[in-house]
């Protein structure tokens, strides 16, 4: 795929300085770019690379003032970072633009398949499943019976979606994630063994959700586990049965959410956070990485951290004190020595 500087300039509504016919065929970081590459400069600390880069075209901010001559063609825009992200999205869309049904794959005769779909080799589409228009299902993906996948979705290789689940539009699920596996439900018996509790609910994933690789979202015991519109889940996250995650919440890698917990909208949860079951997290909550949430949070828009979680400012003060313990111990020792010297000597 090749584009001229002029074509790119028109696409992002920029102003061109240099050679309009400069051709680029790849995207690269400004410090690594070679001839034929398109790059960008948004962070001022990378500005020295602008004068040494071999990139053919560089997107920069309108406000940039050049200190010396450059060889690259410039495209000036209001926000170079945002403009480059638009190009990244278009580049990725072109690169992943697959259509057609590859063989061997299995599509049950009762399944409904939309238009302009891509179904990769060794994919399985179950009984009465529905696949929306322009959705891409990569090789070795499993779609269970009565599951619905909306329009413009991308399910990468190895994704498994169990029966009766509902996936909205513009959903991206990365490789080897599992949606709709059984919730962790077992009833303890008198003899110390456990009897499995059947999980008869499903998972509902609303529009514009992205789920990272190797993430597992359990089906509800009854009812639905719900991932609401705009949620972004990182790799290697566990979402247990009957959990609800509110609109536009983001959760980083290796976090785990126990059953029946409800997380509000616009929350930001760091990596390796553990959340107990049957609690609620208020909207706008921010949780520091490696924190443990063992109670309901009702105050909206607050920051929390620590094990077990406390207001973030308290947690950071505690960390600062902990780091100073060796120094404080030494000071206490010196104070005790001084006090002992000031004590009157006993007369025997």
Judge whether 56 and 77 are in contact, CB under 8 Å.
no
Q: Whole-angstrom Cα distance, residue 290 to residue 304?
A: 11
**DSSP string covering 90-153:** HHHHHHT---EE-SS-EE-TT-EE-SS-EE-TT-EE-TT-EE-TT-EE-TT-EE-TT-EE-TT-
Q: Which of 89, 90, 87 is nearest to 39 (CA)?
A: 87
CA 287/CA 284 separation, integer angstroms: 10
| DSSP single-letter state for residue 182 | P
Pick the catalytic residue: 241, 278, 314, 315? 241
* Cα–Cα distance measured from residue 129 to residue 173, given in angstroms and rounded to the nearest whole number: 17
Residue 313: phi, psi to the nearest 5?
-65, -40
User: Known catalytic residue: 140?
Assistant: no
CA distance 236 to 158: 14
Phi, psi of 98 (to 5 degrees): -115, 145
Question: Exposure of 295 by Cβ count < 10 A (0-12 exposed, 13-18 middle, 19+ buried)?
Answer: exposed
Beta carbons of 148 and 129 less than 8 angstroms apart: yes
Q: Which residues are catalytic?
A: 241
């Amino acid at each position: 795929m090749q584009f001229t500087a002029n074509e790119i300039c028109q696409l992002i509504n920029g102003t061109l300085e240099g050679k309009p016919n400069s051709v680029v065929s790849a995207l690269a970081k400004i410090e690594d770019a070679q001839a034929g590459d398109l790059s960008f400069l948004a962070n001022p600390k990378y500005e020295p690379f602008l004068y040494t880069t071999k990139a053919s075209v560089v997107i920069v901010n309108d406000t940039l003032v050049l200190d010396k001559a450059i060889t690259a063609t410039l495209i000036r825009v209001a926000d170079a970072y945002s403009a480059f992200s638009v190009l990244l999205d278009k580049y990725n869309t072109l690169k992943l633009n697959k259509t057609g049904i590859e063989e061997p794959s299995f599509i049950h005769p009762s399944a409904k398949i939309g238009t302009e779909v891509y179904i990769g080799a060794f994919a399985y589409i179950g009984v009465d499943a529905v696949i929306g228009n322009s959705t891409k299902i990569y090789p070795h993906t499993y779609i269970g019976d009565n599951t619905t996948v909306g329009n413009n979705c991308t399910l990468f290789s190895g994704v498994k979606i169990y029966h009766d689940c509902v996936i909205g539009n513009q959903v991206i699920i990365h490789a080897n994630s599992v949606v709709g596996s059984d919730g962790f439900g077992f009833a303890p018996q008198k003899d110390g063994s456990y009897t499995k509790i059947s999980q008869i609910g499903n998972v509902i994933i609303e529009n514009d959700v992205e789920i990272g690789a190797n993430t597992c979202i359990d089906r509800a015991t009854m009812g639905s586990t719900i991932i609401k519109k705009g949620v972004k889940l990182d790799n290697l996250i566990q979402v247990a049965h009957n959990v609800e995650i509110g609109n536009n919440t983001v959760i980083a890698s290796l976090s785990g959410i126990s059953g029946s917990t409800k997380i509000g909208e616009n929350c930001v949860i760091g990596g390796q956070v553990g959340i107990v079951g049957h609690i609620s997290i208020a909207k706008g909550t921010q949780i520091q990485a490696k924190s443990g949430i063992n109670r309901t949070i009702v105050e909206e828009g607050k920051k929390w951290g620590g094990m077990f979680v406390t207001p973030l400012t308290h947690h950071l003060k505690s960390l600062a004190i902990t780091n100073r313990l060796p120094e404080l111990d030494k000071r206490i020792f010196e104070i005790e020595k001084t006090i002992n010297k000031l004590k009157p000597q006993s007369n025997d």
